[in-house]
Chain A
């Protein structure tokens, strides 16, 4: 279940902020929609990304999907576990299946993202 301290993007990424470090992954809804993931490509450490910039790729058997940085910042850590075994994302997209961590420029930009209720509403709208 989405937890309240997590924010969500319209591109189906989640962000959890600890100080100025944002942990980013794809939402459970996204992993469910993509199906079995078989390949993950993550950004290089120290890469500086803009909000909305494509910076990772998750691939199912059939299709590749970009992952966009939900906030501007610098990549400080990536999750090798999901590169080694992309199925970790299918199993726990919003926990063990995190993708990368950003040192973010401005924590206030988090407010532009959706909280759990808003994301749930966004999902039901897009399914309607």
Chain B
């Protein structure tokens, strides 16, 4: 077994009581057991960290994610050959969520693409797919356009309704960013690429900074009274409450964009030509309607229903599968996401979920479970 790779904040996490686990080959805190003044602010653990993010602000280390610069004449157009989104139409200072697709319209990965300047894009991809994504993109690039992974940068996410107040004390200009805005700012003696975005459903910021500055920035943000550290556990429960997909769980290369309910990522201009991998198939699927759809699920009772559980129709037949499921800290009840036949996808539809061999009644619900509160 290979040892998980430590990230720039490894010692920082451990010093703050981070319970480290291996995730996508990296060592990261699943939650914290803080002591002293920090424990008084947020006692730590997935539940408290999650609720602190919804109530105030949480600081996540997401340095495992893959960051890269795609640069050169026509970089946006070159990337459009691989993704669903309108990239050429991104004004400098704006970013969007998009999907790398395969020829079947399946989702190779989901990623953020930011226009930093004309012909200069920042890509942020999932840690587990980093190597594959970067070689897939590099292989498709014409001469003079280059993909340069930013291996020496950390990525922090400051999320929650008080995130802007905390960040404003160090970088007032960044707090003027609109949702999905991005810019380069001086921050605590370093330079930061700051985007107003995140993976929690809350207002917040993602800060790409030189690895050498990570401890300074993390220390400064954590010194603010609103901010508590939060780990991967809370990151997962927050994103599921927000109805956001986790690649490798809810979406993957075998799941097409339309079935996944992500047709909204296909830019208006891209729908005129469907000129990206799997485009023609996705155009047809959108027209005919997919056979299955991704839905939210609310099991009755208190038992969490986990990924892999079968979804049963009213006759008890297994017709779908849960792809994410956990106890929602905000709702105090189980929530899940999964795929059902289109005929069962309407909110309110009664289904059952197989839990250790026993069917648990559940309702199909719309997503998100907790309304988004973006800036």
Contacts and interface: CB of A to CB of B under 8 A. Distances in A.
Interface of B is mostly: mixed
Give the size category of B's interface with A. 20 to 34
Contacts of B30: 35, 62
Interface string A94-110: 00000000000000000
Contacts of A90: 45
B304 interface: yes
B61 interface: no
A39 B45 contact: no
Given A61-B233, A61-B237, A38 B31 contact: no
Given A36-B46, A38-B327, A59 B233 contact: no
Interface string A50-66: 00000001011111100
A64 B46 contact: no
Given A57-B356, A59-B327, A36 B304 contact: no
Given A35-B30, A35-B233, A57-B356, A64 B306 contact: yes
A77 interface: no
Interface in B38-56: 45-48, 50
Contacts, number: 45
Given A61-B233, A62-B236, A39 B31 contact: no
Contacts of A64: 304, 306
Nearest to A38: B327
Nearest to B30: A35
B357 to A, nearest CB: 12
Nearest to A41: B303
Contacts of B47: 36, 38, 61
Given A35-B31, A35-B46, A61 B303 contact: no
Interface of A: 32, 35-36, 38-39, 41, 57, 59-64, 90
Interface of B: 19, 30-31, 33, 45-48, 50, 233, 236-237, 302-304, 306, 326-327, 329, 356
